[in-house]
Amino acid sequence: MSDHVSRFAIEWAHCDAAGIVFYPYFYVWFDQATERLFKARGLSYATLEREFGALGMPLLETGATYQNPCRLGDEVEMRSRVADWQRKTLLITHRIDHVDGRRALEGFERRAWVVRDAQAPRGMRAVAIPEDVKRRFA
């Protein structure tokens, strides 16, 4: 499975008073990377809804393990990939490294593949992920 790679600099708006990235930004970056990962394979969120009826991929579980802090001005590289496909869920992993090779953190998102369902308590239900979607990541 191929990775989506992005490279960026840590900016003032990302940092707390100590000049270290405020941790919620990592989760924003994870979410953005997931969207870009799918979009790079011709699967924008609009396409997922139009072609597959997917309402989205809501989070079921997420987490991160931090190794080296990201500080103001640091250049980092983020690698994201679908690490595991289950019937109705997928696991996306994210790794952020400093450009000097030090690992900053490793994180993950477990997401469900859902469609609208007016009869379901939350207005949606998880369904099997289409094989055509999985093939685009092979």
Is the model's pTM score more than 0.85? yes
* 64, containing H or E segment: strand 59-66
DSSP codes joined into one string, 94-110: EEEEETTS-EEEEEEEE
User: Which residue reads 């379901």 in tokens?
Assistant: 120
Q: Which domain holds residue 122?
A: 4-135
In angstroms, the CA 49 to CA 86 distance is 20
Coil, helix or strand for 7? strand
Q: Region 108-112: what's the mean pLDDT?
A: 98
51 contacts: CB under 8 Å, gap ≥ 6: none
Number of domains in the chain: 1
Q: What is the CATH number of the domain that holds 69?
A: 3.10.129.10
pLDDT of residue 1: 56
106 contacts: CB under 8 Å, gap ≥ 6: 64, 65, 67, 93, 94, 95, 96
pLDDT tens column, 2-32: 899 999 999 999 999 999 999 999 999 999 9
Two tokens at 6?
Answer: 């992005």
In angstroms, the CA 72 to CA 8 distance is 11
